[in-house]
């Protein structure tokens, strides 16, 4: 078993271009899934934006990215900069930190530790794209994604 901390970059419509650029620089495998791939009607604004994307290279480079849904809404002073609003994750941060493991048993203690004093944005549990996924803003305001790598 191993845990990996991965930079998770947040964009407003530029995630695909950024990931393609990072692939051109570092090489590796590019994965891009759009909101439409997950069922958003293709005619809605943002349907072609990236809901999950990553570049994984054999040299150890790895980066994740997505396009933040909705409008960029500034957070109130002292409030976490990522929150749920009407069922949508809203963020003003340019990145998340992501910890990914091979099993829920492996990452559950990480989730539980980070959750102490945190604001849970997405509860930890099964997700459409991963065996387990959760998002929280820790007590310092840092947004973390904790998940289990999906089998491709």
Which one is predicted more confidently, 86 or 109? 109
Question: Would you say the C-alpha torsion 109, 31, 127, 80 has a positive or negative sign?
Answer: positive
C-alpha radius of gyration, the chain, whole number = 15
Burial 113-125 (b: 16+ CB within 10 A, else e): ebbeebbebbebe
- Output 48 or 99, whichever has higher pLDDT: 48
69 contacts: CB under 8 Å, gap ≥ 6: 35, 46, 49, 88, 89, 90
pTM: 0.64
Domain boundary among the residues 69, 97, 117 is at: 69
Same domain, 15 and 53: yes
Contacts of 136 (CB under 8 A, 6+ apart): 111, 114, 115, 118, 119, 120, 121, 122, 143, 144, 146
The number of beta carbons lying within 10 Å of the beta carbon of residue 151 is: 6
pLDDT value, residue 69: 82
**CB half-sphere exposure, 10, CA atoms < 13 A:** 20
Q: Which of residues 46, 69, 92 is at a domain's end?
A: 69
How many Cβ atoms from other residues are within 10 Å of residue 60's Cβ? 9
Domain that holds residue 24: 7-69
Name the least confident of 9-13, 32-36, 50-54, 94-98. Answer: 94-98
Give the mean model confidence (pLDDT) for residues 55-84. Answer: 69
Structural domain contains residue 1:
no
Beta strands in 12-152 (DSSP E): 29-34, 50-56, 62-67, 82-85, 88-91, 95-101, 119-127, 130-137, 143-148
pLDDT, position 94:
66
Q: Do 13 and 54 reside in the same domain of the chain?
A: yes
Position 19 scores a pLDDT of 92
Question: Does residue 93 form part of some domain?
Answer: yes
Lowest-pLDDT range of 60-74, 75-89, 105-119: 75-89
The pLDDT of residue 149: 85
């Amino acid at each position: 078993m191993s845990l990996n901390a991965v930079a998770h970059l947040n964009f407003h419509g530029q995630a695909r271009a950024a990931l393609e650029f990072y692939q051109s620089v570092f090489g590796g495998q590019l994965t891009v899934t759009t909101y439409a791939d997950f069922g958003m009607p293709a005619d809605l604004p943002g349907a072609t934006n990236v809901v999950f994307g990553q570049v994984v290279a054999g040299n150890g480079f790895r980066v994740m990215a997505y396009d933040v849904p909705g409008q960029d809404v500034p957070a109130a002073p002292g409030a976490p900069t990522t929150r749920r609003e009407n069922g949508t994750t809203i963020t003003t941060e340019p990145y998340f930190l992501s910890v990914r493991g091979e099993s829920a048993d492996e990452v559950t203690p990480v989730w539980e530790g980070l959750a102490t004093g945190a604001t849970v944005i997405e509860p930890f549990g099964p997700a459409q794209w991963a065996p387990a996924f959760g998002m929280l803003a820790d007590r310092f305001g840092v947004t973390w994604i904790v998940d289990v790598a999906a089998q491709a």
